[in-house]
Amino acid sequence: MRASLVAVTEPAGHFFRIVSVEGPQVEDLNLWNAHDLTERFYSGKTRALHATHLSTGDRLWSTFPTLRPMATITHDTLDWYGWDEDGAGVHDVIGTRCDPYTNLLLKGTEYHHCCHSNLTRALAAERKLPLEEAEVHVHDVMNIFMCTGYTRDTHQYFMKASPVRPGDFIEFFAEIDLLVALSACLGGNCSGTHSDDTAKCYPLMIEIHRPREGALAGWQSPAPNKYSRSLGTR
């Protein structure tokens, strides 16, 4: 499936790939439990448990109170990139998502086709929700193919041109039944302008793969976190 924004259901025990097909393009990823939108990807906890940038073997964790792996990265064709001379890496969980609220705050004008808006529309269309109801479920993202870091002197977030090439992909294993939403960022490869209509953008492709029969014998989805939730009351 090629798209600039999409929400799809991914069954537990399947793999999904996000593939660059035409040109350098970054993508914003949201994940939810397909049966409960209140269980969603927790970028901050994922960052704390793994790193600021993710690659093969890292897991994407869900929010409290379930706190369990939602997906595991099983292949990353950009794992060669590592850290560059500026201290940047790819696939970050430090940025949030471009959004119309911050754009208005910083620029004083309204721009509607940000990743936040795309993810909201994708979720609303998939679940047949009003936009206002869908929007509250959109959350901080994993920035697929995005090349980012912190400046060495002021420790501020920066973006630079993505190294992604046609044919590159990142692959995930769905640990639970997932609802996956993707937005092709209007910043294109995020090397210049952002949240406007001037950057060159390309579609990406999402592939869903079923494992060979018997390959997951004995595997089970991870259970929700077993903390008692007493929260100091007993």
Q: How confident is the model at residue 196 (pLDDT cuts 50, 70, 90)?
A: low
Q: Can you give the pLDDT at residue 89?
A: 98
Q: How confident is the model at residue 171 (pLDDT cuts 50, 70, 90)?
A: very high
Q: Can you give the pLDDT at residue 179?
A: 97
Residue 88 lies in a domain: yes
Q: Compute the mean pLDDT over every residue in the chain, rounded to the nearest whole number.
A: 93
- Provide the number of structural domains found in the chain: 1
pLDDT digits (tens, 9 = 90+) for 104-163: 999 999 988 899 999 999 999 999 999 999 999 999 999 999 999 999 999 999 999 999
Average pLDDT over residues 196-203: 81
Residue with tokens 């210049």: 192
Q: How confident is the model at residue 194 (pLDDT cuts 50, 70, 90)?
A: low
Q: Quick one: CA dihedral 9, 12, 14, 18, positive or negative?
A: positive
Residue 218 lies in a domain: no
Residue 231 lies in a domain: no
Q: How confident is the model at residue 2 (pLDDT cuts 50, 70, 90)?
A: very low
Amino acid in position 17 = R
Q: Can you give the pLDDT at residue 195?
A: 61
The boundaries of the domain holding residue 203 are 2-209
Q: What percent of the chain has pLDDT over 90?
A: 83
Q: How confident is the model at residue 193 (pLDDT cuts 50, 70, 90)?
A: low
CB 99 within 8 A of CB 117: yes
Q: CA 9 from chain center: how many Å?
A: 15
Residue 230 lies in a domain: no
Q: What are the residues facing 32 on neighbouring strands?
A: 40, 179
Residue 166 lies in a domain: yes
Residue 215 lies in a domain: no
pLDDT digits (tens, 9 = 90+) for 57-87: 999 999 999 999 999 999 999 999 999 999 9
Residue 145 lies in a domain: yes
Residue 226 lies in a domain: no
Give the burial string for 102-137 (b: 16+ CB within 10 Å, else e).
ebeeeeeeebebbbbbbbbbbbbebeebeeeebbeb
Q: How confident is the model at residue 188 (pLDDT cuts 50, 70, 90)?
A: confident
Q: Can you give the pLDDT at residue 1?
A: 45
